[in-house]
């Protein structure tokens, strides 16, 4: 009986050791699987981060490409404008050459008339009255021709300035409007001081006087608020008006 119980105890111990080994083997296999799973997750996260990084670089590259395309379009437009301006300048130079040739022809015409006048005076025996009349007529023609050339040169200069301002870029227009910009800056500086002066007067009426009603103070407040929005358009209109008046007086 005791021997039988001992055998069963030994068998139970053997089974326990067997199950313990199987449990250890299963635990080891489970740890290995968990480690492999963590490695896979880490690899997946790394791959996702790399994909996001590549996607960001692709977006940046696409943005740079769009910026370069936009800059190319701007440069192309500026080139077309400069080409048009060059064509206009070529035409203006051609007109200048034509005007110069015309002036040279007219001067030669006057010289020929003077030579003819001298020839007739010496060879044909013109009277002093006839010679004086011819000289007077030639001088009149000379004055008319000279005035016509000056008028053509003035009109040509105005056309060149008009095309230059019309087809130039904003950066190039600065070179033609430096005096205008200087005057506007001086006027704006003066207007700023007027604004501060009015603001000080408003503060004086608002805090240090009591004989004025609240309506007068409200009106002053409204004037102070709308002054910056109104004075600059008025200034620009006045400046354009004075330039318009000056355009009639400038040729004089």
% of the chain surpassing 90 pLDDT: 0
- Which of 34-43, 119-128, 153-162, 203-212 holds the top average pLDDT? 34-43
Q: Is the backbone of residue 209 left (phi > 0), alpha (psi -120 to 50) or beta?
A: beta
From the list 61, 146, 137, 65, the residue with the least C-alpha distance to 102 is 146
Q: Give pLDDT tens digits for 237-246.
A: 887 788 778 7
Q: Give pLDDT tens digits for 168-208.
A: 555 555 555 555 666 667 777 777 788 778 777 777 777 67
Q: Which string of b and e fits 59-89 if b means at least 16 CB within 10 Å?
A: eeeeeeeeeeeeeeeeeeeeeeeeeebeebe
DSSP 177: S
Q: Give pLDDT tens digits for 36-94.
A: 888 887 888 888 888 888 888 888 888 788 888 887 787 887 778 777 777 777 777 67
The answer to whether residues 85 and 168 touch, using CB atoms and an 8 Å cutoff, is: yes
Across the chain, mean pLDDT equals: 72
């Amino acid at each position: 009986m005791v021997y039988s119980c001992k055998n069963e105890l030994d068998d139970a111990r053997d089974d326990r050791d067997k199950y313990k080994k199987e449990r250890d083997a299963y635990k080891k296999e489970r740890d290995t699987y968990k480690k492999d799973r963590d490695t896979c997750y880490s690899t997946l996260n790394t791959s996702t981060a790399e994909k996001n990084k590549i996607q960001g670089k692709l977006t940046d590259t696409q943005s740079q490409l769009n910026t370069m395309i936009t800059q190319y379009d701007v440069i192309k437009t500026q080139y077309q404008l400069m080409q048009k301006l060059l064509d206009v300048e070529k035409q203006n130079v051609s007109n200048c050459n034509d005007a110069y040739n015309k002036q040279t022809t007219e001067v030669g015409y006057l010289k020929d008339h003077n030579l003819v006048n001298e020839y007739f005076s010496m060879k044909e025996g013109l009277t002093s009255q006839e010679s004086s009349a011819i000289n007077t007529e030639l001088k009149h023609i000379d004055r008319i021709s000279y005035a016509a050339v000056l008028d053509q040169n003035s009109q040509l200069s105005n056309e060149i300035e008009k095309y230059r301002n019309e087809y130039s870029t904003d950066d190039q227009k600065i070179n033609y409007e430096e005096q205008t910009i200087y005057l506007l800056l001086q006027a704006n500086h003066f207007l700023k001081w007027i604004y501060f002066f009015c603001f000080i007067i408003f503060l004086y009426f608002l805090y240090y006087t009591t004989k004025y009603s609240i309506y007068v103070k409200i009106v002053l407040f409204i004037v102070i608020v709308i002054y910056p929005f109104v004075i600059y358009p008025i200034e620009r209109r006045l400046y354009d008006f004075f330039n318009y008046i000056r355009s009639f007086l400038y040729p004089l």
